[in-house]
């Protein structure tokens, strides 16, 4: 079944705008404490971790958390390719001009989101639970895991885990595309 | 009974008469703080001040930084005097900064902080300050609030008319207060007139780096040059110096230098001097002076001996310098924001002469000279005068300006600040100071665009203004609100040393360039250890070099053995932190020089010479974290000639065999 021209245009724009995520941070973890009023930031890019990593690693040694290094994450080799596939697939969906192609793309996006969330949570679990027992400060229960999304109090820190600019440029186009699919499916299908 | 009544009546009458006499005593100017002064100086916790004030430390040799309007002391920047608190002048890296042709000098008398300028306005890049005693000029980098360059001035005695800068910081100048024989030769003191000379040093400032270079010296007659300002706007290209002792006395100047009715304002056409230099009229002369530069990437200073200086003779090249007669030993010599008026403050005069730049140029063109003084043309007073401020007060010292056409002059003898109209030269307001004001400071008050909201009076005497602290009392600053028609006293606050002068600048011009840490990857110190794996101990003959790192909260290494009596131990401490406000200190028992205070990403070196065997604790002196008290270690010193091998470790808990 063919798509409306306006729908195709929206999908094309949505797919292309995801490219912004190559140039900006996708996700951020913010840490605030009384002695860090300006906050510490960890930025997750598609190919790297940036921000105050050294400071965060420094502080984490008190509780015996493993230090965070970009090389430890194979994801940073996969993510740029995955993002490319997401964009190209979206462009293809607009070009192929069938509801099926659009459906497949949106389904793919949802799958990526689900896998990424699980992966992110697993890493958080690994870092939050694998604490050195000889560290200067022993955490009750030996867990120190930041939230998947939202805010959480961790000792003297308020930790926030939220999408960053690049993340919004993936999430919002994905939501719009899902909306386009929904409109195409439920509103326009009856008329044709 | 009658007697008693009469006595009572007479006594009552006498009391009234005496009370009457007392009521005739003129009232002193009121000491009352009016209205909402408290709210105007209250900077709530967590809020920042609006303006920075940089005040010289006078005999402390340093610069003190205050927040205005709160008057809070924010920091003391070590410049010419050693400061064991942060190892300024004690660490191996900073010792060369205080090197001079007279050897290592641990102190000086710092007088005038001057902010760098672009297009006649304060640009917030650098602060210059002069050393009066062993003549030098220092440059403080306002990104780090650190002294990064000091240049010595040869053939100069008393670098007082300094370090005033030109409209775009092309030059900072330093003119001699004490004329001396050239080349440091020795002659009979009473041959002053024949053998002594005055000198104006022109330090060229690199536009990008700020690096200073003694471009040339102008030889001028031997009198005492006191203060200076550069022309701006219309008068850009000129400099104006006040002077006293045109009597050329060499003894009892208090009397002998106060004989003539008029001394001079020296006007110097520095653009003309540049032309003469370009024409090859300069003469290179041998001169010894040190140029000390602190390299912020190597984190260390180098001291270079310079061997010659270019000179120009103002007596031979007659159109560089002119003298304008000025009443009674002038001190301040201040140029209005437009650059048209030069206000001279004769400290023994009862009026303020205001000179006109336009009239001066016209008088020079028309050769309206009243004669020569030691080879320099003296312009006619009436030909250059715009007018006089009549009966302003006693002992005018120094003038600064606001943006609304008013000038503010300090009066030492009558202890007050007087506000007057620059164009009409009418006094419009006055306010007493407590006590004996020297210089004053209007925020950006020597620039083209003053920030005429605050004025600070820098007072010499405090007496009853603070809780007493024995014979030695603090000096004091007084904050005055000049935003309205009437000046209002807001606040007294004590100062460090004797702030001869201060400059104020709107805070955001400085804060936007602040540096928070030194980047480890930019550290080029030769003894840098960028991570704990690079920490090591190396012996070179009887020198032991310890490449030691500091991070919350341990040193690496923290156990060192194999040092022997007779060794010189160099602790090269690198702070591995990259967080703002996490310095680490370093101290070792028996350190005969000082501790270290190492900023994040910086490397600093402490030399330590143990005199006897033993085990010596070392520790961090700057509370750095919850485990700061644990940040400690030991150095074992063995007798000379012992066979203890050199070893070092951190975190190795195995017991000795």
Is the model's pLDDT at A190 over the cut of 60? no
Chain B residues with beta carbon closer than 8 angstroms to that of A58? 551-552, 577, 579
Report the residue from B578, B626, B627 with minimal CB separation from A55. Answer: B578
Is the model's pLDDT at B565 over the cut of 50? yes
pLDDT at position B27 is 55
Backbone angles phi, psi at B182, to 5 degrees: -65, 160
Asked if the C-beta of B628 comes within 8 angstroms of chain A's C-beta atoms, the answer is no
Chain A residues with beta carbon closer than 8 angstroms to that of B578? 54-55
Is residue B652 very low, low, confident or very high in pLDDT (cuts 50, 70, 90)? confident
Is residue A151 very low, low, confident or very high in pLDDT (cuts 50, 70, 90)? very high
Q: Do A62 and B577 touch (CB under 8 A)?
A: no
Asked if the C-beta of B579 comes within 8 angstroms of chain A's C-beta atoms, the answer is yes
User: Under 8 Å CB-to-CB from A192, ≥6 apart: which residues?
Assistant: A1
Asked if the C-beta of B653 comes within 8 angstroms of chain A's C-beta atoms, the answer is no
Is residue B13 very low, low, confident or very high in pLDDT (cuts 50, 70, 90)? low
B137 vs B11, residue with greater confidence: B137
Is residue B531 very low, low, confident or very high in pLDDT (cuts 50, 70, 90)? very high
Q: Which of A36, A53, A54 to mutate: most B Cβ within 10 Å?
A: A54
Is the model's pLDDT at B28 over the cut of 90? no
Is the model's pLDDT at B25 over the cut of 80? no
pLDDT at position B334 is 97
- Rounded CA-CA distance B41/A176 in Å is 54
Q: What is the pLDDT of residues A156-185, one digit of tens each?
A: 889 999 999 999 999 999 999 999 988 888
Q: Comparing A1-10, B42-51, B56-65, B128-137, which segment has the lowest mean pLDDT?
A: A1-10
Q: Do B578 and A54 touch (CB under 8 A)?
A: yes
pLDDT at position B577 is 94
Q: Do A58 and B551 touch (CB under 8 A)?
A: yes
User: Under 8 Å CB-to-CB from B221, ≥6 apart: which residues?
Assistant: B197, B198, B314, B315, B373, B374, B375, B376
Share of residues in chain B with pLDDT > 70 (%): 94
A96 vs B82, residue with greater confidence: B82
Residue A40's closest chain B neighbor by CA?
Answer: B579
Q: Do B552 and A58 touch (CB under 8 A)?
A: yes
Report A:131-190 residues touching B (Cβ under 8 A).
Answer: 136-137
Closest-CA distance, B443 to chain A, in angstroms, reads 30
pLDDT at position B573 is 98
Provide the β-strand partners of residue B107: none
Q: Are strands B559-564 and B632-638 parallel, antiparallel or unpaired?
A: parallel
Residue B626's closest chain A neighbor by CA?
Answer: A62
Is residue B33 very low, low, confident or very high in pLDDT (cuts 50, 70, 90)? confident
Is residue A188 very low, low, confident or very high in pLDDT (cuts 50, 70, 90)? confident
User: Under 8 Å CB-to-CB from B365, ≥6 apart: which residues?
Assistant: none
Provide the β-strand partners of residue B219: B199, B313
pLDDT at position B20 is 58
pLDDT at position B2 is 66
Q: Which of A58, A64, A157 to mutate: most B Cβ within 10 Å?
A: A58
> Which tokens in the block code for residue B296?
């912020």
Q: Do A62 and B626 touch (CB under 8 A)?
A: yes
Asked if the C-beta of B626 comes within 8 angstroms of chain A's C-beta atoms, the answer is yes
The model carries a pTM of 0.89
Chain B residues with beta carbon closer than 8 angstroms to that of A38? 580
- Rounded CA-CA distance B182/B198 in Å is 9
Q: What is the pLDDT of residues B240-261, one digit of tens each?
A: 999 999 999 999 998 988 888 8
Is residue A142 very low, low, confident or very high in pLDDT (cuts 50, 70, 90)? confident
Q: Are strands B376-379 and A150-154 parallel, antiparallel or unpaired?
A: unpaired
pLDDT at position B655 is 54
Closest-CA distance, A51 to chain B, in angstroms, reads 12
Q: Do A58 and B579 touch (CB under 8 A)?
A: yes
What b/e string do you get for A28-48 counting C-beta neighbours within 10 Å, with b at 16 or more? bbbbeeeebeeebbbbbbbbe
Residue B578's closest chain A neighbor by CA?
Answer: A55
DSSP alpha helix (H) spans, A74-164: 75-96, 99-129
Report B:537-566 residues touching A (Cβ under 8 A).
Answer: 551-552
Cα-to-chain-centroid distance, residue B317: 32
Q: Taking the CA of residue B288 as centre, how many other CA atoms within 13 Å lie in the half-sphere pointing to its CB?
A: 8
**Region of residue B66 (phi > 0: left; psi between -120 and 50: alpha; otherwise: beta):** beta
Is the model's pLDDT at B320 over the cut of 90? yes
Q: What is the pLDDT of residues B165-182, one digit of tens each?
A: 999 999 999 999 999 998
- Rounded CA-CA distance B95/B574 in Å is 18
Is the model's pLDDT at B5 over the cut of 80? no
Q: What is the pLDDT of residues B111-165, one digit of tens each?
A: 999 999 999 999 999 999 999 999 999 999 999 999 999 999 999 999 999 999 9
- Rounded CA-CA distance B365/A95 in Å is 83
Closest-CA distance, B76 to chain A, in angstroms, reads 24
pLDDT at position B31 is 57
Is residue B656 very low, low, confident or very high in pLDDT (cuts 50, 70, 90)? very low
Is the model's pLDDT at B654 over the cut of 90? no
Distances (CA, A) of A79 to A13, A24, A25, A89, A173: 21, 14, 13, 15, 18
Nearest alpha carbon to residue B177 among B132, B116, B124: B132
CA-based R_g, chain A, Å: 20
Count of CB atoms within 10 A of residue B434's CB? 18
What b/e string do you get for B560-572 counting C-beta neighbours within 10 Å, with b at 16 or more? bbbbbbebebbbb
Q: Comparing B259-263, B280-284, B601-605, which segment has the lowest mean pLDDT?
A: B259-263
Is the model's pLDDT at B657 over the cut of 70? no
Backbone angles phi, psi at B127, to 5 degrees: -125, 130
Q: Do B627 and A136 touch (CB under 8 A)?
A: yes
Chain A residues with beta carbon closer than 8 angstroms to that of B580? 38
**How many pairs of residues across A and B have Cβ atoms under 8 Å apart?**
17
pLDDT at position B150 is 98
Mean pLDDT value of segment B596-625: 97
Is residue B90 very low, low, confident or very high in pLDDT (cuts 50, 70, 90)? very high
Q: What is the pLDDT of residues B494-504, one digit of tens each?
A: 999 999 999 99
Q: Do B579 and A55 touch (CB under 8 A)?
A: yes
ipTM above 0.85, yes or no: no
Helices A5-17 and A75-96 sit at what angle, rounded to 10 degrees?
160
Q: Do A58 and B627 touch (CB under 8 A)?
A: no
Mean pLDDT value of segment B544-563: 96
Q: Which element (helix H / strand E) includes B194?
A: helix B192-195
Report B:40-79 residues touching A (Cβ under 8 A).
Answer: none
Mean pLDDT value of segment B56-82: 97
Backbone angles phi, psi at B544, to 5 degrees: -115, 120
Backbone angles phi, psi at B420, to 5 degrees: -145, 160
Distances (CA, A) of B655 to B535, B536, B651, B652: 22, 21, 12, 9
Q: Do B626 and A54 touch (CB under 8 A)?
A: no
Report A:30-89 residues touching B (Cβ under 8 A).
Answer: 38, 52, 54-55, 58, 61-62
Closest-CA distance, A52 to chain B, in angstroms, reads 9
Mean pLDDT value of segment A72-77: 93
């Amino acid at each position: 079944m063919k798509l409306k021209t306006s729908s195709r245009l929206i999908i094309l724009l949505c797919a292309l705008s995801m490219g912004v995520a190559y140039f900006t941070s996708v996700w951020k973890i913010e840490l605030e404490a009384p002695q860090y009023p300006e906050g510490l930031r960890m930025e997750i890019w598609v190919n790297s971790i940036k921000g105050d990593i050294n400071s965060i690693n420094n502080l984490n040694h008190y509780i015996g958390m493993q230090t965070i290094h970009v090389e430890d994450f194979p994801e940073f080799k996969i993510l740029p390719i995955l993002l490319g596939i997401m964009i190209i697939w979206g462009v293809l969906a607009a070009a192929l001009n069938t509801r099926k192609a659009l459906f497949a793309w949106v389904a793919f996006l949802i799958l990526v989101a689900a896998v990424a969330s699980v992966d992110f949570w697993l890493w958080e679990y690994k870092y939050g639970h694998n604490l050195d027992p000889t560290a200067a400060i022993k955490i009750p229960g030996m867990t120190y895991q930041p939230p998947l999304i939202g805010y959480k109090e961790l000792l003297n820190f308020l930790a926030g885990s939220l999408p960053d600019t690049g993340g919004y440029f993936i999430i919002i186009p994905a939501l719009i595309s899902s909306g386009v699919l929904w409109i195409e499916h439920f509103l326009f299908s009856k008329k044709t | 009974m009658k007697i008693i009544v009469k006595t009572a009546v007479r006594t009552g009458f006498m009391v009234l008469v005496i009370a009457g006499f007392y009521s005739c005593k003129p009232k002193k100017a009121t000491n009352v703080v009016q209205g909402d002064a408290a709210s105007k100086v209250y900077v709530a916790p967590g809020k920042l001040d609006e303006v920075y004030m940089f005040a010289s430390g006078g005999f402390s040799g340093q610069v003190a930084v205050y927040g205005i309007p709160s008057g809070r002391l924010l920091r003391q920047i070590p410049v010419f005097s050693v400061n064991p608190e942060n190892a300024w002048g004690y660490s191996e890296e900073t010792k060369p900064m205080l090197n001079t042709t007279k050897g290592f000098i641990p102190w000086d008398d710092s007088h005038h902080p001057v902010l760098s300028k672009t297009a006649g306005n304060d640009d917030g890049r650098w602060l210059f300050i002069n050393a009066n005693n062993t003549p030098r000029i220092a440059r403080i980098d306002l990104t780090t609030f650190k002294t990064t360059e000091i240049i010595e001035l040869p053939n100069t005695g008393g670098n007082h008319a300094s370090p005033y800068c030109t409209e775009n910081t092309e030059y900072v100048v330093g003119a001699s207060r004490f004329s001396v024989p050239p080349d440091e030769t020795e002659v009979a003191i009473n041959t002053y007139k024949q053998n002594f000379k005055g000198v104006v040093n022109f330090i060229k400032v690199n536009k990008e780096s700020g690096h200073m270079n003694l471009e040339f010296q102008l030889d001028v007659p031997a009198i005492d040059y006191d203060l200076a300002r550069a022309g701006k706007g219309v008068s850009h290209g000129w400099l104006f110096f006040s002077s006293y002792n045109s009597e050329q006395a060499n003894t009892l100047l208090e009397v002998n230098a106060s004989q003539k009715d008029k001394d001079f304002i020296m006007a110097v056409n520095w653009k003309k001097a540049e032309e003469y230099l370009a024409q090859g009229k300069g003469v290179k002369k041998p001169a010894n002076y040190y140029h000390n530069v602190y390299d912020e990437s190597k984190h260390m200073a180098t001291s270079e001996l310079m061997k010659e200086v270019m000179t120009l003779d103002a007596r031979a090249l007659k159109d560089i310098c002119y003298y304008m007669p000025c009443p009674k030993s002038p001190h301040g010599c201040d140029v209005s924001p437009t650059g048209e008026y030069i206000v001279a403050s004769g400290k023994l005069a009862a009026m303020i002469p205001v000179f006109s730049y336009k009239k001066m140029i016209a008088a020079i063109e028309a050769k309206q000279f009243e004669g020569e003084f030691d080879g320099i043309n003296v312009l006619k007073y009436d030909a250059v005068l715009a007018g006089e401020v009549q009966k302003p007060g006693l002992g005018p010292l120094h003038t600064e300006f606001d943006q609304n056409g008013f000038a503010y002059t300090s009066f030492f003898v009558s202890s007050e600040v007087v506000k007057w109209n620059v164009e009409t030269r009418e006094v419009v307001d006055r306010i007493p100071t407590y006590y004996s004001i020297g210089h004053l400071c209007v925020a950006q008050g020597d620039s083209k665009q003053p920030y005429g909201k605050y004025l600070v009076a820098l007072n010499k005497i405090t007496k009853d203004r603070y809780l007493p602290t024995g014979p030695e009392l603090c000096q004091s600053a007084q904050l005055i609100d000049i935003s309205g028609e009437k000046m209002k006293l807001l606040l007294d606050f004590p100062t460090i040393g004797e702030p001869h002068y201060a400059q104020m600048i709107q805070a955001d011009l400085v804060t936007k360039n602040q540096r928070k840490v030194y980047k480890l990857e930019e550290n080029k110190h030769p003894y840098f250890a960028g991570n704990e794996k690079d920490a090591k101990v190396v012996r070179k003959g009887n020198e032991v070099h310890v490449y030691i790192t500091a991070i919350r909260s341990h040193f690496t290494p923290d156990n060192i053995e194999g040092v022997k009596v007779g060794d010189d131990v160099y602790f090269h401490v690198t702070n591995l932190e990259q967080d703002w406000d996490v310095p680490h200190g370093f101290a070792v028992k028996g350190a005969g020089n000082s501790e270290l205070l190492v900023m994040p990403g910086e490397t600093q070196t402490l030399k330590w010479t143990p005199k006897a065997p033993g085990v010596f604790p070392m520790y961090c002196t700057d509370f750095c974290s919850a485990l700061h008290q644990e940040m400690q270690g030991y150095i074992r010193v063995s007798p000379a000639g012992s066979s203890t091998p050199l070893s070092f470790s951190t975190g190795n808990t195995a017991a000795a065999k």
